[in-house]
Amino acid sequence: MTGRELGERFLSKEIEADRRSERWLVLKAVIALAVVGVLVVVRQVFFG
């Protein structure tokens, strides 16, 4: 195996790992927006 093949394999694994972490990032962003939405509703209902 040449150095180039090893480098390409490493990069493909790194890209796949980044892709998985970005999916989790989207999920976390949706959850954060939902929490903010709940806080806004609670604020309006109890302090509005």
Instruction: Tell me the pTM.
Output: 0.64
Between CA 39 and CA 16 the distance in angstroms is: 35
| Model confidence band, residue 6 (pLDDT cutoffs 50, 70, 90) | confident
As a whole number of angstroms, the distance between CA 3 and CA 20 comes to: 26
Q: What is the pLDDT of residue 7?
A: 86
The distance from CA 17 to its chain's CA centroid, rounded to whole angstroms, is: 12
